[in-house]
Amino acid sequence: MSTNHPDPEATGADTPYLDFAGTTPYEDYVQADVLTHLQHLRSDDPGEMVFLVTTQVMELWFTVIVHEWETATRALREDRIPVARDALKRSLRELEALNESWRPLAGLTPAQFNSYRGSLGEGSGFQSAMYRRMEFLLGDKSASMLVPHRGAPRVYAELEKALGEPSLYDETLALLARRGYAIPEEVINRDLTQRYVPSPEVEAVWAEIYASDDQNDELVRLGELLTTWASWSGAGATTTWSPPGARWAPRPVPAVPPGSPGWRSAPRRTCSPSCGRRAAMSETTTTAEDLRARALKLDAADPLADRRKLFALDDGVYLDGNSLGALPRPRPPPACRTSLTPPSGGELRIRSWGERLVDRARADRGPDRPARRGRRRADRRR
């Protein structure tokens, strides 16, 4: 162990203290010597090192994310919503980092992977215990997923405990019940070792919360964050990835970790199938007339409502703006406009992606296409 020494900035020393009797304080805290000697390669291929380190980094990110989600779960159990929200926000950034950690493998070809794939045996990312704990916190539970870990008593015990504990969404519903919302008893007291089943009554509760005039209410903000969290978790951890893994290895289970570009999995359910905007807009609880009345009420209170008349809009709801936004009004037609001039993108709005591009593609296949392409290239060189 290292010995604490005075801070050079506090003492006015010119150089930091370097003569430690034992290991450095950095080593004591980070355990870098342990981390950097955990890479036991199975082949002589130089490309295996980055694959192994990337997989180990993934496991570390899983550990961090599980910590955040367990922190949020405990906080919700204790009615500390701000603490839960902070933990969930951190986990969103960590999920981004998890996805980005695969970038070093982006250029890996099947031939390069197969050069050391055989030495990995039956190893597979599906066997990750920490990823299993992430799934359980998401509410995606199955006792059969404990079977591969029977040979590791500590890991098995941790997973068995996590299987029977409430997921983050279970704790959210319990909090709503404590706040007086009509969460059904069978939802609160359900078998926690099973996957959550969507409930129309729970959707009605979320719709009631979202109908609040105070959109800054902590439950509304929690619902929004849970929706984002469920979406990110679904995209980064529990949905199907495109399968270069299928061509990497001619065996049923590719030796690639979950979340990697080569990982394949059946589509899963998200953690909170009843929460967020989707529940507020659910057909089981809200009619079209109710939604229109609410939209009109929100529009009337919008400080920018009077700007609508400045644009060429019909009575429909147009949400796809970007570069295909509506034209300003009034807009006198150009002098060159005739009845034969095709409508502009501003007039067609989102339809211009299909109608104008299809027309252009058809015209581009004409017999004079080579000549037109040659002229364009010549123009660019001038």
End-to-end Cα spacing for the chain: 70
| pLDDT interval class at 106 (50, 70, 90) | confident
311 strand-pairing partners: 328
Q: Which residues of 112-137 are buried (b: 16+ CB within 10 A; e: fewer)?
A: bbebbbeebeebbbbbbbbbbbbbbb
Tokens of 306: 């009077």
- Dig out the tokens for 199 from the structure: 């409930």
Q: What is the pLDDT of residues 295-349, one digit of tens each?
A: 788 888 888 888 878 877 766 666 654 455 667 776 555 555 544 444 555 556 6
Do 210 and 285 touch, CB atoms closer than 8 A? Answer: no
Cα 364 to its chain centre, rounded Å, is 39
Do the Cβ atoms of 333 and 357 come closer than 8 Å? no
User: Rounded distance, CA 102 to CA 262, Å?
Assistant: 10
What pLDDT is recorded for position 123? 81
Among 95-109, 271-285, 310-324, 353-367, which stretch is predicted with the lowest mean pLDDT? 271-285
Residue 261, pLDDT score: 37
Task: Give backbone dihedrals phi and psi of 285, rounded to 5 degrees, phi first.
Answer: -130, -15
